[in-house]
C-alpha cells in the first residue's frame, strides 16, 4: 500500500472516480478516512521510534539528539496534520459546498506533505509501513490475540455482582448523562443504538482518532520536546494559570470522545464505576502478590 495514503487517496477520489461520488458526504467520508490513516501512521511511527530507543535501555538524554529530534519533528508534523483535519471537518459541517476549497488546498500541499513525511520517516530510518501502522491501530486478528492472552490478566472473574444505581448527584453519572444528552442533540445516539457490531467498531475507531488528536493538543501545551531548552519556570510547574486552564480543557475535550465510546458500546455509568472499583482492587492485589 502506498506510504502516502491520504494524498493519493484524495487524488484517486477526485480524478479517477469522480463520477462515482454521489454526494459531498461520500467525498467527506473518503477524505476523513484517508487522512485518519496518515495520522495513525504518523502516531505509530513516532511510538515505534520512542519504543525502540527505550527498549535498548538508553535514557532519552543519552541517546543521539538526531533520533530524538526526528521523533519530535514527526510529532510536530502530526500536530499540524491534525489541525488541517479539524479545518476540514469544520468546513464541511458549516458549508459543504466550501469543501472544494479545502480539498484543493490539500492537493496543492501534496508535495509538501510527501516531502515532510519522507524527511521525518525515511531519512531518520523510522521504517514502519502503513499496513503495520494500521494493524497496530485496528488490532491483530482474533486468533493471534487469543494466542497472546495472558491467563493471569483475564478479568471476567472480577465482574461485580450488583450494580446499585449511583446517586443523582454523582459526578461520573452527571457528566455521563450530559454527554449522552449532547449526543442525542447531534442525532448520534440513534445511530449508536441501531448500529451492528461492525458499525460500532467503526464508530469507536473514529472516536479513538479524535481522542488522540485532543491528547496531541494537550501534549503540545506541555514542555514535551526533548531537544528544546525550556525556561526553569516551565519545567518546575505551570508557567501560567492560562496554560493550566487550556491544558485542562484539552483533557476535557479528550474525555468527551472517551465517553462517546462507552455510549457506542452501551456501557452505563454504574458499570464503569463498579467495574473500575473491582479492577482497582485487583490491581492492588496483584501488587501484593508480587505481580
What is the pLDDT tens value at each position of the chain, 291 positions in all?
A: 333 444 444 444 444 444 444 444 555 555 555 555 555 555 555 555 555 555 555 544 444 455 555 555 555 555 555 556 566 666 555 555 555 555 555 544 544 444 444 444 443 333 334 444 434 434 443 444 344 444 455 665 656 666 677 676 688 888 999 999 999 999 999 999 999 999 999 999 999 999 998 998 899 889 888 888 888 888 888 888 888 888 988 999 999 999 999 999 999 999 999 999 999 999 999 999 887
Residues 161 and 234 in one domain: yes
Residues 108 and 180 in one domain: no
- Structural domain total, the chain: 2
Q: Which residue has the cell 448523562?
A: 177
Residues 89 and 163 in one domain: no
Q: Specify whether the CB–CB gap between 46 and 82 falls below 8 A.
A: no
Looking at 142, 164, 180, which one is the last position of a domain?
A: 142
Residues 35 and 136 in one domain: yes
Residues 135 and 159 in one domain: no
| Distance, CA of 27 to CA of 18 (rounded, Å) | 9
Q: Specify whether the CB–CB gap between 32 and 26 falls below 8 A.
A: no
- Cβ neighbour number for residue 111 with a 10 Å cutoff: 10
Residues 156 and 282 in one domain: yes
Looking at 142, 171, 195, which one is the last position of a domain?
A: 142
Residues 138 and 11 in one domain: yes
Residues 95 and 191 in one domain: no
Residues 132 and 220 in one domain: no
| Distance, CA of 250 to CA of 79 (rounded, Å) | 14
Residues 17 and 64 in one domain: yes
Please state the pTM of the whole predicted model: 0.49
Segments forming the whole domain that contains residue 107 = 1-142
Residues 138 and 224 in one domain: no
Looking at 108, 142, 176, which one is the last position of a domain?
A: 142
Amino acid at each position: 500500500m502506498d506510504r502516502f495514503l491520504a494524498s493519493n487517496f484524495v487524488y484517486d477520489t477526485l480524478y479517477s472516480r469522480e463520477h462515482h461520488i454521489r454526494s459531498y458526504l461520500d467525498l467527506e467520508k473518503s477524505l476523513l478516512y484517508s487522512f485518519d490513516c496518515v495520522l495513525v501512521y504518523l502516531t505509530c511511527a513516532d511510538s515505534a521510534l520512542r519504543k525502540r530507543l527505550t527498549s535498548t535501555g538508553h535514557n532519552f538524554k543519552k541517546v543521539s539528539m538526531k533520533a530524538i529530534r526526528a521523533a519530535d519533528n514527526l510529532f510536530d508534523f502530526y500536530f499540524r496534520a491534525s489541525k488541517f483535519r479539524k479545518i476540514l471537518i469544520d468546513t464541511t459541517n458549516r458549508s459543504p459546498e466550501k469543501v472544494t476549497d479545502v480539498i484543493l488546498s490539500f492537493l496543492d500541499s501534496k508535495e509538501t506533505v510527501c516531502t515532510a513525511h519522507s524527511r521525518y520517516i525515511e531519512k531518520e530510518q523510522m521504517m514502519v509501513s502503513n499496513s503495520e501502522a494500521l494493524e497496530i491501530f485496528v488490532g491483530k486478528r482474533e486468533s493471534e490475540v487469543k494466542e497472546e492472552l495472558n491467563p493471569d490478566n483475564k478479568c471476567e472473574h472480577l465482574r461485580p455482582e450488583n450494580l446499585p444505581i449511583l446517586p443523582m448527584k454523582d459526578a461520573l453519572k452527571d457528566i455521563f448523562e450530559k454527554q449522552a444528552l449532547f449526543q442525542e442533540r447531534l442525532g448520534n445516539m440513534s445511530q449508536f443504538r441501531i448500529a451492528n457490531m461492525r458499525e460500532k467498531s467503526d464508530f469507536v475507531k473514529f472516536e479513538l482518532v479524535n481522542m488522540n488528536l485532543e491528547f496531541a493538543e494537550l501534549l503540545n501545551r506541555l514542555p514535551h520536546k526533548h531537544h528544546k531548552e525550556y525556561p526553569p519556570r516551565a519545567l518546575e510547574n505551570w508557567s501560567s494559570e492560562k496554560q493550566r486552564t487550556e491544558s485542562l480543557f484539552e483533557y476535557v475535550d479528550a474525555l468527551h470522545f472517551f465517553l462517546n465510546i462507552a455510549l457506542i458500546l452501551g456501557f452505563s455509568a454504574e458499570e464503569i464505576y463498579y467495574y473500575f472499583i473491582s479492577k482497582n482492587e485487583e490491581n492492588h492485589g496483584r501488587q501484593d502478590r508480587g505481580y
